């Protein structure tokens, strides 16, 4: 049986913790372990922040739509924004923190990179809202075999 939880949060810093904690609760209910739950929570937090910053451009009148779908040992979490900044891409370079500390680059650009490292699958999918960006993360109870 597939179970779905839907959440709508303001595009305002701090509310990403509501989605983060709910995702952590879902992961725990599915039997994930402590570190795996921490990975889920950080990934969801970063996806919501990306949606607030890049998708909705910090417009507090916009919303972030979070859908969590539990299907046996698979947790899919979709984070959708209202697309104030155009189409997003999953292709990101590793952040060059050395260059950032040297003042050669602005600090930042780490969110998607971290998410991709923490979850089993991450990509933008066609938006069910018909507009904006929809980012999907998939996490299994047990990490997939890297081979």
Partner 1 sequence: MTSALRIEQRDASAVAVIELHGDVTGDGEDPIAEVFSSVTSDGPATVLIDLADAHYINTSGISVLIRLAMEAKKDGHRLLVSGTSPHYKKVFDLVRFSSFVSMYDTEQEALASLE
Q: Among residues 22 and 127, whose Cβ is nearest to partner 1?
A: 22
**Residues in CB range of 35: below 8 A, 6 or more apart:** none
Which one among 24, 83, 111, 132 touches partner 1, defined by CB under 8 A? 111
Task: Determine if 93 is a binding residue for partner 1 (CB under 8 A).
Answer: no
Which one among 9, 15, 64, 135 touches partner 1, defined by CB under 8 A? 15
Q: Among residues 24 and 83, whose Cβ is nearest to partner 1?
A: 24
Candidates 10-18, 72-80, 123-131, 136-144; binding stretch for partner 1 (CB under 8 A):
10-18
Residue 59 φ/ψ, nearest 5 degrees: -75, 110
Tokens of 53: 């910053």
Q: Among residues 1 and 94, whose Cβ is nearest to partner 1?
A: 94
CA dihedral 94, 69, 49, 84 (to 10 degrees): 100
Query: Is the Cβ–Cβ distance between 129 and 65 less than 8 Å?
Result: yes
Which one among 5, 28, 38, 141 touches partner 1, defined by CB under 8 A? 38
CA distance 60 to 106: 24
CA distance 51 to 31: 28
CB atoms within 10 A of CB 91: 6
Task: Determine if 108 is a binding residue for partner 1 (CB under 8 A).
Answer: yes
CB of 131 to partner 1, least distance (A): 26
Binding site for partner 1 (CB under 8 A): 12-17, 35, 38-39, 42, 45-46, 49, 94-95, 97-98, 100-103, 107-108, 110-111, 113-114, 117
């Amino acid at each position: 049986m597939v179970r779905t939880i839907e959440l709508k949060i303001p595009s305002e810093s701090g509310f990403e913790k509501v989605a983060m904690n709910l995702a952590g609760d879902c992961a725990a209910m599915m039997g994930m372990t402590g570190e795996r739950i921490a990975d889920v929570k950080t990934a969801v937090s970063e996806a919501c922040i990306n949606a607030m910053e890049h998708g909705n451009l910090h417009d507090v009148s916009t919303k972030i739509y979070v859908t969590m779908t539990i299907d046996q040992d698979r947790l899919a979490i979709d984070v959708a924004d209202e697309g104030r900044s155009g189409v997003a891409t999953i292709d990101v370079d590793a952040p060059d923190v050395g260059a950032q500390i040297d003042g050669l680059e602005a600090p930042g650009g780490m969110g998607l990179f971290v998410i991709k490292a923490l979850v089993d699958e991450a990509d933008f999918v066609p938006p069910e809202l018909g507009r904006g960006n929809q980012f999907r993360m998939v996490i299994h109870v047990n990490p997939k075999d890297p081979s």
